[in-house]
């Protein structure tokens, strides 16, 4: 029993210590909002407030794009998924950065859909 309690506490500590880098804020718009509010009172240690502001502009742009044209936004997600699939099958070492960027964009777009269109 004690073993399970220590395992749970250790897991919670690991989750709490996860670094909040730029990509984290791109795929967690709610946390981005909290971090931006905290910028008014104190400076976050890992991501500068100016960077958070730039990420917020990107997130807002995607949110506007989703609200303006949901079908087009969904089509862009599908096209991005297909392109990632093609890149993974024909991958060369020079394509690694492009593939990583596409995966990050896909994660960001899916996070926007989850944030704005998911029930509850």
Q: What is the pLDDT of residues 50-88, one digit of tens each?
A: 999 999 999 999 999 999 999 999 999 999 999 999 888
Model pLDDT for residues 42-51, shown as the tens digit of each residue: 766 688 889 9
29-39 and 96-117 helices, crossing angle to 10°: 90
Task: Locate 27 and state its tokens.
Answer: 């795929």
> With pLDDT > 70 as the criterion, what percentage of the chain qualifies?
78
Count Cβ atoms within 10 A of the Cβ of residue 87 and give its class: 0-12 exposed, 13-18 middle, 19 or more buried.
middle
Most confident stretch, 81-85, 96-100, 114-118: 81-85
Please state the pTM of the whole predicted model. 0.74
The dihedral region occupied by 74, where left means phi > 0, alpha psi between -120 and 50, and beta the remainder, is alpha
């Amino acid at each position: 029993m004690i073993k399970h309690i220590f395992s749970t506490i250790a897991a919670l500590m690991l989750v709490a210590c996860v670094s909040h880098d730029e990509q984290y804020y791109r795929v967690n718009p709610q946390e981005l909002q909290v971090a931006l509010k905290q910028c008014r009172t104190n400076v976050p240690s890992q991501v500068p407030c100016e960077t958070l502001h730039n990420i917020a502009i990107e997130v807002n742009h995607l949110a506007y794009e989703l609200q303006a044209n949901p079908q087009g936004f969904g089509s862009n997600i599908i096209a991005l998924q297909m392109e990632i699939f093609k890149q993974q099958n024909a991958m060369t070492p020079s394509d690694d950065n492009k593939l990583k960027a596409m995966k990050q964009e896909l994660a960001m777009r899916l996070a926007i859909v989850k944030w704005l269109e998911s029930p509850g």
